Amino acid sequence: MPTIGNVQIKLLEKLCNACAVSGDEGEVRKIILEELKGFTGEIKVDALGNILVTRPGTGEKRLKVMLSAHMDEVGFMLVADDGEGLFRFETIGGVDIRQLPGKAVLVGRDHLPGVIGARPIHMTTTEERKQKIPLDALRIDLGPGGCKVSLGDRATFATRFQRNGSVIIAKALDNRLGVVTLIELIKNAPPNIDLVAAFTVQEENGLRGAKVAAYAFNPDLAIVVDSTPAFDLPGWEGDENISYNTKLGLGPAIYIADTGTLSDPRLVRYLSATAQAEGIPFQFRQPGRGGTDAGSIHISRAGVPSVSISVPHRYSHTAASIARLDDWKNSLALLHAALNQITPELVKTGRP
Ligand SMILES: [Zn+2]
């Protein structure tokens, strides 16, 4: 029975502190391949950089079940050198420009330190401070002299992983939480299914890796493992916040629908019934913006019944997110129970 202990938390720390902005996932890929050394199934890296893992089961009449977790994170790419250590940059993935000024970043494979520069308070007027600073006006600043970076290099927030009891604060919890979960599920793969697992690239810029991974695997069904925003802060001016899409502490979030996918209702029911039977808390992620690799997977080839399940975290796609260990543990427990109990009838009897 897989669980989240010190080993898994240490691995999460290593993965969150690694930099893997979309299209340059090498650092995270290396850590995963290292973790899977000695694994008896087949492991390969495809042309786009997805890690594809195949572990056949031993039972009779097995479904081919695809699990998917994206390796990449949102961030930045250097696009022009203005000299003096200053670089223009583009954002990669959904990043809120308002949150960027003043943030420390790490640039390139060598993690060179930089800062997203903005004029300090001393040199701005009250009027200027009310304005949003456009991306054009921001630079990644490595300081004058001696920087060894290249155009095309990626940059990401410089936040280091921290833990305080059951609370984790880090960058890229979306989706390093899913990556560790997937590693545990692969290491504890049940015999009743043929497990095919993808650690995908370029989710944050259009679910691109998952598209080719699903084509290669051609699975009977897919479960995407991700981390989703929790907008569960109290309202201000006395209003109660009733619009949260997920809430910390309520357990894994099962998706009914998101921007890119209407989840297969049989899989939604199956996951929620399994959670109830096992006494695992869960919540339904409220429909709305955002999506997962399921958006690509469910429309690959002749169609793949798909669902997503996520660990909720606050402050998604920013320099620092917050998640709870118990939500993560319960997500792993639910996925493990669900995989163990899958029978061919789940999707082979046709859509009701
Ligand atoms: Zn994600």
Q: How far is the CA of 85 from the centre of ligand 1 (A)?
A: 32
In this prediction, residues 201-226 reach a mean pLDDT of: 97
Q: How far is the CA of 172 from the centre of ligand 1 (A)?
A: 9
- SS3 per-residue string spanning 267-328: HHHHHHHHHHHHCCCCEEECCCCCCCCHHHHCCCCCCCCEEEEEEEEECCCCCCEEEEHHHH
Band of pLDDT at residue 223, cut at 50, 70 and 90: very high
Residue 128 has what pLDDT?
81
- Of 13-17, 33-37, 144-148, 164-168, where does mean pLDDT reach its minimum? 144-148
Tell me the pLDDT tens digit for each residue of 30-88: 999 999 998 889 999 999 999 999 999 998 889 999 999 999 999 999 999 999 999 99
Residue 238 has what pLDDT?
65
The answer on pLDDT for 171 being more than 90 is yes
Would you call the peptide bond into 175 cis, given omega within 30 degrees of 0 as the criterion?
A: yes
In this prediction, residues 121-131 reach a mean pLDDT of: 83
Q: How far is CA 190 from CA 42, 43, 186, 195, in A?
A: 16, 17, 9, 8
From the list 203, 237, 278, 345, the catalytic residue is 203
Cβ–Cβ < 8 Å for 289, 96? no
Residue 126 has what pLDDT?
86
Q: Rounded mean pLDDT of the chain? A: 93
Q: How far is the CA of 19 from the centre of ligand 1 (A)?
A: 15
Q: How far is the CA of 284 from the centre of ligand 1 (A)?
A: 17
Tell me the pLDDT tens digit for each residue of 288-338: 778 899 999 999 999 999 999 999 999 999 999 999 999 999 999 999 999
Q: How far is the CA of 22 from the centre of ligand 1 (A)?
A: 11
The answer on pLDDT for 197 being more than 80 is yes
Q: Answer with the residue of higher pLDDT: 260 or 245.
A: 260
Residue 310 has what pLDDT?
96
Residue 234 has what pLDDT?
73
Tell me the pLDDT tens digit for each residue of 226-242: 998 887 777 666 666 66
Q: Which residues contact 345 (CB under 8 A, 6 or more apart)?
A: none
Q: How far is the CA of 25 from the centre of ligand 1 (A)?
A: 14
Cβ–Cβ < 8 Å for 173, 323? yes
Residue 312 has what pLDDT?
95
Verify whether residue 203 is a known catalytic residue. yes
Q: How far is the CA of 238 from the centre of ligand 1 (A)?
A: 32
Residue 50 has what pLDDT?
98
As a whole number of angstroms, the distance between CA 276 and CA 220 comes to: 24
Q: How far is the CA of 228 from the centre of ligand 1 (A)?
A: 7
Q: What is the pTM of this model?
A: 0.95
